[in-house]
Amino acid sequence: MRLFRSDLPLAGDASARFLPWIIGCMVYLAALAVAAALSADNLAERWHADLAGRFTVELPPSPPSDEKEAKLRNITGFLSTIDGVTAVKLVGDSEKAALLRPWLGGVELPDDIALPDLIVVEAGKAVDLAKVSVELVAIDPAIRVDDHANWNGDLLAFSNSMKILALIVLSLIALAAVSTVIFVTRTGLAIHRRVIEIVHLVGAQDAYIARQFLFHALRLGLAGGAVGASLAAATWLGLQRWLSGGGSGLLPSLALSTADWLAVAAVPVALAVVAMFTAQATVLILLGREP
Amino acid sequence: MVLFENVNLRYGDGPAILQQVSFTLAPGSFHFIVGASGAGKSSLLRMMYLAQKPTSGRVNLFGQEVDQLKRHDRPLLRRRVGVVFQDFRLLPHLSALDNVALPLRVAGVAENKIRDHVTELLKWVGLAEHVDALPATLSGGQQQRVAIARAVITRPSLLLADEPTGNLDDTIAVRLMYLFGELNKVGTTIVVATHSERLVQQFSHRQLRIEQGNVRLVPQRSEAA
């Protein structure tokens, strides 16, 4: 308890009223940035896992015919013989419609719009796609083989961009928090100059006074941070519920794992710690400059 | 205990407050600092409790050269000095108990030892009923006793008092001087700054008399005889 008692009347300062709100706003934004980055990372990882060890063979749209059926049988037969291939699956009409539903909603696809034929191939080990492509093009020059490398690359770039963005946001927020705490601490030192002088005269070290500012900043930081983090969690959960319920299927799930939530919960604690040590350092530096 | 050697003091470009001041206060001694208002009594005390640096000259406290002290060492020396300020300088947001406990807390005394110790001292100065009172709710005399309790709670080697009787009626002033006498008997070096010649005459102690910036040591009556 002694650590938290204060000989300086810091709790009555104007800073004690506005600093928690500022910290709360910062934590709200920082927590959302972290949640967004983690969510993007999860999404990229999920999609990457879905596509790993899989490639797609795409044939241009064509009306049903015996010749087309024969070609498809020929292609699937060839694909099944490739070393390492574990499954070859022709995507049916209903599955294609399901794939399009996020873009089209409940609208039925008109009969006169033909869709390309898709064959999904799963491979247990690496397959020489260039060689496979050559073989398939010999069957039909319009065939396209997609190993999703571009898509995976884009996903990775998206995920990394989100992480960098979150890092920038967090850095800016930390910078703003440090500046605010320095300003508040300087003001506190000026307001309580007389009290600090008395505390010095009865034998207090600068560190004793700095400790009082440190715990004051920690208290305010945690109070504001708790509010900000709670609001951010509520916002994220609301968004998650909206997306999973009434949102379009195009939009990804925002679900976070327990570890992710712990990372989000660490944001207010980290910011409170930053505020705490900033206050302490400010007091030590400013008092150290006095004669 | 306290050594001043050729100490000069002036504030900024103003006139000299103290000039070529030299004296030594032996451990366990009792001195009055006497002089008219504005003579420099408070300035002399401020140098003794390290709130003021001399413009030039040498100040030595407890065998340590004050101008060679590092910032970190100054509080350690201050803990050996108790000060009763003219305006008390109590912290208005703290209770009497917390004001008196302040020097113990800054010195790192365990919290469980503080309350009993402080309560006992407040009882000794007649404030047993006002332990939790804020300074604003106490009379001038009561505030002064809190200030005195704060000054002596750490059993300082040197007790400095700046016009301690200035706000007190004669009866309480005399009682206060007897209290200082008791502390002096147990070995505390006492320095009391006052402009009251009557008080100085009433209690026979050595005097540091300040006149026009110069300090003259006046022995106590028994020594002079």
Q: Where are the domains of chain B?
A: 91-155
Q: Which of A87, A108, A142 is the last residue of a domain?
A: A142
Mark yes or no for CB contact A208/B78 under 8 Å: no
Encode pLDDT of A184-200 as tens digits: 999 999 999 999 999 99
Q: What is the dihedral of CA A282, A288, A289, B3, to 10 degrees?
A: 160
Answer whether A199 sits within 8 Å of B89, measured CB to CB.
no
Question: Which residue among B49, B72, B106 sits closest to A199, beta carbon to beta carbon?
Answer: B106
Asked whether residue A135 falls in the same domain as residue A163, the answer is no
pLDDT score for B191: 96
Q: Domains in chain A: how many in total?
A: 2
| Residue A199 resides in a domain | yes
**Min Cα–Cα distance to chain B from A287, Å:** 10
CB contact under 8 A, B53 and A291: yes
Q: Which of residues 63-102 of B touch A (CB under 8 A)?
A: 71-72, 75-76, 78-79, 83, 89, 91, 93-94, 98, 102
Distance (Å, rounded) from C-alpha B208 to C-alpha B26? Answer: 13
Check CB contact of B217 with chain A, cutoff 8 Å.
no
CB-based contact A204 B75, cutoff 8 Å: yes
CB-CB neighbors (< 8 A) of A216 in chain B: none
Q: A201 to chain B, minimum CA–CA distance in Å?
A: 7
Out of A12, A204, A291, the one facing B106 most closely (by C-beta) is A204
In tens, the pLDDT along B165-181 reads: 876 777 777 888 888 99
* Residues near A24 by beta carbon (within 8 Å), at least 6 away in sequence: A224, A225, A227, A228, A231
Three-class HEC string of chain B: CEEEEEEEEECCCCCEEEEEEEEEECCCCEEEEECCCCCCHHHHHHHHCCCCCCCEEEEEECCEEHHHCCCCCHHHHHCCEEEECCCCCCCCCCCHHHHHHHHHHHCCCCHHHHHHHHHHHHHHCCCHHHCCCCHHHCCHHHHHHHHHHHHHCCCCCEEEEECCCCCCCHHHHHHHHHHHHHHHHCCCEEEEEECCHHHHHHCCCEEEEEECCEEEEECCHHHHC
Residues A15 and A42 in one domain: yes
Of A130, A41, A62, A56, nearest to A91 by C-alpha is: A56
Q: Once rounded to an integer, what is the mean pLDDT over residues B178-207?
A: 89
pLDDT at B8: 94
Partner A contacted by B146 (CB < 8 A): no
Chain B residues whose beta carbon lies within 8 Å of the beta carbon of residue A204: 75, 106
Same domain, A112 and A176: no
State the complex-level ipTM. Answer: 0.89
List CB contacts (< 8 A) between A197 and chain B. 51
Nearest CB partner across the interface for B102, out of A2, A199, A291: A199
- Do residues A94 and A198 both lie within one domain? no
Q: Which residue has the higher pLDDT, B48 or A114?
A: B48
Question: Taking CB atoms and an 8 Å cutoff, what residues of chain A touch B98?
Answer: 7
Instruction: Give the contacts of B20 (CB within 8 A, at least 6 positions apart).
Output: B6, B7, B8, B57, B214
Q: Is the pLDDT of residue A162 over 70?
A: yes
Are residues A138 and A264 located together in one domain of the fold?
Answer: no
Q: Which structural domain, as residue segments, surrounds residue A232?
A: 2-49+152-289
Tell me what pLDDT residue A68 has.
81
Q: Which of B83, B90, B102, B162 to mutate to test the interface with A (most CBs of A within 10 A)?
A: B102
State pLDDT tens for residues B110-158: 988 899 999 999 998 889 999 999 999 998 888 988 999 999 999 999 9
Please judge whether A203 and B107 are an interchain contact, meaning their C-beta atoms are less than 8 angstroms apart. Answer: yes
| pLDDT tens per residue across span A200-250 | 999 999 999 999 999 999 999 999 999 999 999 999 999 888 887 655 555
Interchain CB distance below 8 Å, B75 and A200: yes
Contacts of residue B80, Cβ cutoff 8 Å, sequence gap at least 6: B62, B156, B157, B158
Which of A9, A201, A206 lies at the smallest CB-CB distance from B93? A9
Among residues 16-35 of chain B, which lie with CB inside 8 Å of chain A? none
The shares of helix, strand and coil residues in chain A, as percent rounded to the nearest 5, are 70, 10, 20
pLDDT band at residue B54 using 50, 70 and 90 as cut-offs: very high
Residue A147, domain member (yes or no): no
What pLDDT does A251 receive?
60
pLDDT tens digit string along A164-182?
998 999 999 999 999 999 9
Q: Which of A6, A202, A285 to mutate to test the interface with B (most CBs of B within 10 A)?
A: A202
pTM for this entry: 0.79
Q: Distance between CA B213 and CA B153 in Å, rounded?
A: 33
A-chain CB neighbours of B106 within 8 Å are 7, 199, 202-205, 208
Q: How many Cβ pairs within 8 Å bridge chains A and B?
A: 49
pLDDT of A2 over the 60 cut: no
Residue B198 pLDDT: 83
Same domain, A156 and A273: yes
Phi, then psi, of A4 in degrees rounded to 5: -95, -5
Structural contact between residues A271 and A177, judged by C-beta atoms closer than 8 angstroms: yes
The reply to whether A259 and A165 lie within a common domain is yes
Q: Choose the final residue of a domain: A86, A113, A142.
A: A142
Q: Are residues A160 and A211 in the same domain?
A: yes
pLDDT band at A290 (very low <50, low <70, confident <90, very high): confident
- B80: phi then psi, degrees, rounded to nearest 5: -95, 0
Q: Does residue B115 sit at the A interface (CB-CB below 8 Å)?
A: no
Which of A137-151, A157-171, B18-32 holds the top average pLDDT?
B18-32
A156 plus A103 within the same structural domain: no
Residues A72 and A131 in one domain: yes
